[in-house]
Amino acid sequence: MNVYFDNAATTKVCEESIEAMVTLMRENYGNPSSTHYMGRQAAEMLGTARANIAATLGAPFESIYFTSGGTEANNWAVLGLAKLLERKGKHIITSMIEHDAVYESCKKLESLGWEVTYLFPDNSGRIPCEDFTEALREDTAFASIMLINNETGAENPIREYSNEIKRRGFKTLLHTDAVQGFCKTPISVKTLGADLLAVSAHKIHGPKGVGALYISKGVNLPQAQLGGGQENSKRPGTEALPAIVGFGEAALIGGRTLSETAESVSGIRSRVVSRLKSELPDTVVIGGGDSPYLLSLSLPGHKSEVIMSFMESEGICVSKSSSCKKGARSRVLESMRLHNSVVDGAIRVSFSKYSTTHEADFFVDILKLASEKLFKAL
């Protein structure tokens, strides 16, 4: 049996996205910037995709800018804000649990003379609003804290951060990496209060190579690159229209089925956790379990790589921390001040709308078998 439980790394592309992309490539391959009829048709499809994503975020149509993915969107947000605001303050707030797209961008800015405050998570994996409040200063140019952590599933109180900025009358701008939250938890940019927000297609059953950045009205983010007038001249270059159309379809479906899918996935996660607690009580469940799509767990005393290898030999795909780490120790789990044995034995299990209870039971059965065999090998 083959089980794919690494959906936080990437997801299976849904048939609706595939069909939309293939149809476009076969029948309407015009450049959206061309003025002839095929170009106009392509531009209309580009607009439809933008509208789908904007609607799912509760955002204005014109505030969505397409990128090559979540990493570019986050890079553009952080580095662009630094360029925009460097004369208004040289202080940044971020956290130790950020994706490297944000964390490494902040490290780069730190090397260029910016003062960066790195907030640590509590034992649930969240960044408490009290800590954000304490770190916030009048000269804080901007803050960048993710909505849903990509390793633990912890959800941060972005709205509370935004409210605190407004309460104190500061001009601090707020960016959030919402890649793991998009189409998985209800998001309204107006309610959330973020000035910039990054999303990605391949986490929601869309294609790889495309993402988007929401930029609120009044934030004149510098150009991502130089070129023509595409994306309102902010991110020029011929749009990757097939991928964008696939993204739009995935967002449309994901937004419509958000509650239904979340309920299904929550049941699967709860089933796994319940069985582990009763049948493999030494298992440590990491974090508060805010997102039903992510489950971080550990078998202390064992090594993540060994557990993953055993699971793979039985046809199960899981990961160790973030897939972007390529085997390195998890900065996120270390920042939670977990015991070394817990960090070293941690694996990330992530679900999708295609996950089933049968797969969940098979996963638990094989994890139990792994624990027994690995324990005997010690």
Active-site positions?
A: 324
For residue 345, what are the CA distances in angstroms to 204, 246, 355? 28, 37, 24
Residue 54, classed as helix, strand or coil, is helix
- Cα gap 225→248, rounded to integer Å: 23
In the numeric block, which tokens belong to residue 132? 């954000």
Q: What phi-psi label fits residue 116: left (phi over 0), alpha (psi between -120 and 50 degrees) or beta?
A: beta
Task: Provide the Cα torsion 318, 324, 327, 328; round to 10°.
Answer: -130
Residue 369 in tokens: 């078998």
- Report whether 208 contacts 190 (CB < 8 A): no
Contacts of residue 22, Cβ cutoff 8 Å, sequence gap at least 6 = none
Q: Six-digit token pair at 371?
A: 């624990």
CA separation for the pair 46, 348 (Å, rounded) = 35
Query: What is the rounded distance in angstroms from the CA atom of residue 42 to the CA atom of residue 35?
Result: 10
Which residue, among 216, 220, 201, has the nearest Cα to 53 in the 3D structure?
201
